A and B are shown apart, each in its own frame.
Chain A
Amino acid sequence: MAKHYILVVDDDPDLVETVAMMLESKGCEVGRAYDGVEGEESIKQRRPDLVILDVMMPRKDGYVLCAELKSKDETKDIPVVLLTAVGEAVPTTTYTHRDGMSTEADDYIPKPIDTEGLWKVVSGLL
Chain B
Amino acid sequence: MGTCAPLSLGGFKILDQVLWTPLAENGLDGSPGREFCSLLSTREVNLPFLTLERSGPQTCWNIVFGSQDASHAGAIFPDHILCEGGAPMPGAVLSLFPHRNDPIVAGRLIQAFARAGIWPYVLAYSPSALSVVVPAAAVAQATEAIFGPFCFGTFHTPVDWRLAQQGKEALFKEVVASFSEKRPKVYGLRWSDNLRLFILDLEKATMPLAGRILEALAPSGGPLHFLMSSLSDPASRTRLLIAVPEEARFACSAAIGRGADQGFSATSRPAALFTMNGPHFGDRFGITSILLQGFEEAGLHLIALNCSVASITGLVAPEEADRAVSAITHCFEVPAVIKLSA
Contact = CB atoms under 8 A, between A and B. Distances in A.
B188 A115 contact: yes
Contact of B311 (A14, A85, A91): A14
Chain B: interface size category: 35 or more
B126 A14 contact: yes
B336 A34 contact: no
B158 interface: no
Interface in A31-60: 32-35, 37-38, 41, 56, 58-59
Contacts of B28: none
B335 interface: yes
Contacts, number: 102
A14 B277 contact: yes
B97 A112 contact: no
Contact of A116 (B153, B181, B336): B336
B137 interface: no
Given A15-B310, A112-B279, A93 B168 contact: no
A34 B168 contact: no
Interface string A84-115: 01000111111000000000000000011011
Most buried by A among B97, B165, B174: B97
Chain A: interface size category: 20 to 34
A112 B153 contact: no
B187 A34 contact: no
A114 B12 CA distance: 26
Interface of B: 10-11, 13, 95, 97-98, 126-129, 153-154, 164-165, 168, 171-172, 174-181, 185-188, 277-280, 282, 309-311, 335-336
